Amino acid sequence: MTDAVLLVHGLGGTSYDLGGLPMALQKIGLVVHTLTLPGHGGVPTDLNHVVMEDWLQAVADQHAQLLQTHRVVHLVGMCMGALLVCEVAQQKQASSGKLVLLAPTLHLDGWGMPWYHVFRRLHYVLPWLRTSFRIKEEHPYGIKNARLRAIVQKRFERGDSFHYGWMPLQSIWQLDRLRQKVMQGLSRVTAPTLVMHPREDEYASVRSAQFLCAGLGTDKAQLVILENSYHMVCVDNDRGIVEQQVVEFLRGSI
């Protein structure tokens, strides 16, 4: 049986988050699968009806389904998707494949986070505020490359469905719940893991990657720091490095 890889996008995004990575993995013979997380691919208010468990279940179900037809299933996640695949690997103790975590948002402490975001938990106790308060996607949109950023900005202005232009506070609450869950069980992950993180990530500093590697153990995890990208590493300046490193990491098991 051929080996497969499941790629999971980030919060508010789609498979666009992954850039050319799916095609790069297809070229080395992997069967590539993606999924659209619950609450995504429609309108931002769809996220008001989704909880962390829905995202985890969607990834776990797809992973289990692929294991029925493939000898090995690798897990690759971007942004929140990195936390989801890490948690699924914890719960299933998936050892048949490898784990790739791209720009994981384990700590929301990047340079672009607004000062008032630390008070967001005070608002979680108010259900009406969780669904009505909007978190807007703003410049630089996770992209350091000025030309690409201009293209993305125009797509936001047109209302293209590649990524939500804003998200309800409800979705950030669920991300916070997921972050805490992942932190609690890193030692249960058995899969060899590649963590790639941009030094200038505006959402999550390199502390996220360092925490993950420490929790996973240096015998299982390797860390690559990207020097010329913001958060969206699969489409930004370092996208070629990302594709090359992930291909080389996964190629060893084919």
> In this predicted structure, which of 146-150, 171-175, 217-221, 222-226 has the lowest mean pLDDT?
217-221
Q: Which two tokens stand for residue 196?
A: 């790639």
pLDDT greater than 80 at residue 3: yes
Tell me the CA distances in angstroms from 88 to 92, 177, 193, one per residue in order: 6, 15, 13
**What mean pLDDT is predicted for residues 52-75?**
95
What is residue 252's predicted lDDT score, i.e. its pLDDT?
A: 72
What is residue 179's predicted lDDT score, i.e. its pLDDT?
A: 96
pLDDT greater than 80 at residue 117: no
Cβ contacts of residue 169 below 8 Å, gap of 6+?
A: 120, 123, 124, 129, 130, 131, 132, 133, 134, 135
If you average pLDDT over every residue of the chain, what do you get?
Answer: 90
Which has the higher per-residue pLDDT, 7 or 16?
A: 7
What is residue 89's predicted lDDT score, i.e. its pLDDT?
A: 92
Q: What is the CATH number of the domain that holds 106?
A: 3.40.50.1820
**What mean pLDDT is predicted for residues 212-236?**
95
What is residue 138's predicted lDDT score, i.e. its pLDDT?
A: 84
DSSP code of 47?
Answer: G
What is residue 19's predicted lDDT score, i.e. its pLDDT?
A: 96
> What's the domain range around 122?
4-251
What is residue 122's predicted lDDT score, i.e. its pLDDT?
A: 56
Query: Percent of the chain scored above 70 by pLDDT?
Result: 90
Rounded-to-integer distance, Cα 35 and Cα 113, Å: 28
**Structural domain total, the chain:** 1
**What mean pLDDT is predicted for residues 220-229?**
96
**What mean pLDDT is predicted for residues 56-73?**
94
What is residue 108's predicted lDDT score, i.e. its pLDDT?
A: 92
What is residue 254's predicted lDDT score, i.e. its pLDDT?
A: 43
**What mean pLDDT is predicted for residues 13-19?**
94
How does pLDDT run across 122-180, given as a tens digit for each residue?
566 666 566 667 878 888 999 999 999 999 999 888 877 789 999 998 999 999 999 99
Which among 196, 204, 9 has a CA at the least distance from the CA of 113? 204
Contact (CB, 8 A) for 99 and 193:
yes
